[in-house]
Structure 1
Amino acid sequence: MNVAKMIDHSLLRPELTVDDIRGGCDIAARREVASVCVRPSDVPLAVAALAGTGVLVGTVAGFPHGDTTTAVKAAETRALVGAGADEIDMVLHIGRLRDGDTGYVHDDIAAVVAAAQGRVVKVILENAYLTDAQKVTGCRIAEQAGAHFVKTSTGFAPGGATLADIQLMRATVSPAVRVKAAGGVRTLDTLLTLHEAGAVRFGATATETILDDFAARLA
């Protein structure tokens, strides 16, 4: 099991400086994680810092609330792809999903998928604000709109990834769509429990702690 390649090292907090981003990219490269997930303005920096390392550069669109217009989300995505982003984690329109406006939610996601030009798109549901029925609807819409992943959380809502949510999301989408857990994944045991339930990627800030624990257990 390659735990490092399950981790998207998260560098999304608003107070992070350029030096913080460089340091986070250094961690990502040294630990050979799957990707970094940086703020949109940090994409060029991360692309330069990680060139040749095999670590992907991910970023976010419509983050963290999901309520920018579809046109803005699509334009943001096109700009980020142009800057070198490999993966886009977008927030669906949480309020429209709660309204039951499935057409709006579908078209919003589909526009970002199209703008991503084949790059991986992960759709963040922000489960803390949703009922189980809304989570199921959101997952199904994301798959219908062409997303590659469904994701639990931004990490900025009142709650993050839970075992029950991972089980529900994995049971809802087809094998073609993967599940990402984010928000509160701070220990190796949490990661392994959620992986057993079906998550294959994890947004984490405690990357080094998780990987040090894994190495110690292997030893």
Structure 2
Amino acid sequence: MELTDLIEKLDYTLLKPTTTKSEMMTFCNETITYGFKVIFVHPYYLPYVCALVSEHDVKVGAPIGFSLGGATTKTKVFETQDAINNGAREIDMLINLGALKSKAYSMVKYDISEVVKASEGLLTKVIIETALLTEDEKKIAAQLIVEAGADFVKTSTGFNGGGATFDDVKLLRSIVGPDFGIKAAGGIRSYDDAIKMLELGADRLGTSGAVAIISGKTSTAEY
């Protein structure tokens, strides 16, 4: 794969809770230098980051319900609308894990569909936190996401006990079919791992180690 093609598939992220403004500026400068097309930051930083990258071909995304997923649907909807008003152009929401584990599937689907509506046509990805789910729960979650009208199923935040695995990418592709989006995220630290994730069916990769990955190094990023 050409390096330019890989860069197109990387969502560069800076979501650690202690991120400072100066770190965010460095992150934006790296985004511009290396040509990343999509970046994700906490909603608080959206106005600042959008201003920094406004003259470049960069979409800024925001996580919703991050990083536990237990907020009410009304809260997630407001957070989505607020993020869009502050410049977000992609939305990554976290599924309600407690509702999923409780088999409250209609609630899970409703939660997703309301955020999809609030996204007003913007690309919406739904994080299922694969490390916390059984195989059956992963299958059910992926199907609910498709039914709720989202665009992608996303493996993980990287903050809750594990990240993307090759097996999870293969499993999700077998559930959602060939045309639905899959984003692998959390713990992707090397060029080889990134390429394998894509070969197994991922369409996008979320990583805070994007610079190391495209430089042929192994990232030491925590998330």
After TM superposition, the score normalised by the length of structure 2 is 0.93
1:120 equivalent in alignment to 2:123: yes
Which sits farther off after the overlay, 89-98 or 205-214?
A: 205-214
Which sits farther off after the overlay, 166-175 or 146-155?
A: 166-175
The 1-side partners of 2:39 and 2:9 are apart by 11
The 2-side partners of 1:64 and 1:31 are apart by 27
The 1-side partners of 2:180 and 2:28 are apart by 27
1:54 equivalent in alignment to 2:96: no
Deviations 1:146-195 (A, max 9, x none): 11110000010111100000001111113342100111001001101111
* Percent identity for Structure 1 against Structure 2: 36
- DSSP-derived class of the 1:3 partner: helix
**Counterpart for residue 100 of structure 1:** 103
**Counterpart for residue 74 of structure 2:** 71
**Counterpart for residue 3 of structure 1:** 6
**CA apart distance, 1:79:** 0.7
**Counterpart for residue 221 of structure 2:** none
The 1-side partners of 2:114 and 2:28 are apart by 29
1:172 equivalent in alignment to 2:175: yes
**CA apart distance, 1:90:** 0.3
**Counterpart for residue 41 of structure 2:** 38
Amino acid at match of 1:10: T
**Counterpart for residue 82 of structure 1:** 85
Contact 1:150 1:180 in 2 (8 A): yes
Match of 1:157 among 151, 160, 166: 160
Match of 1:22 among 15, 21, 25: 25
In structure 1, list runs of 5 or more residues that go unmatched: 215-219
Which sits farther off after the overlay, 27-36 or 63-72?
A: 27-36
Amino acid at match of 2:26: G
**Counterpart for residue 147 of structure 1:** 150
**CA apart distance, 1:104:** 0.4
After TM superposition, the score normalised by the length of structure 1 is 0.95
Runs of 4+ in 1 over 3 A off after TM superposition: none
In structure 2, list runs of 5 or more residues that go unmatched: 218-223
- DSSP-derived class of the 2:61 partner: strand
Amino acid at match of 2:138: K
- DSSP-derived class of the 1:9 partner: strand
Amino acid at match of 1:153: S
- DSSP-derived class of the 1:213 partner: coil
The 1-side partners of 2:16 and 2:25 are apart by 14
Amino acid at match of 1:144: E
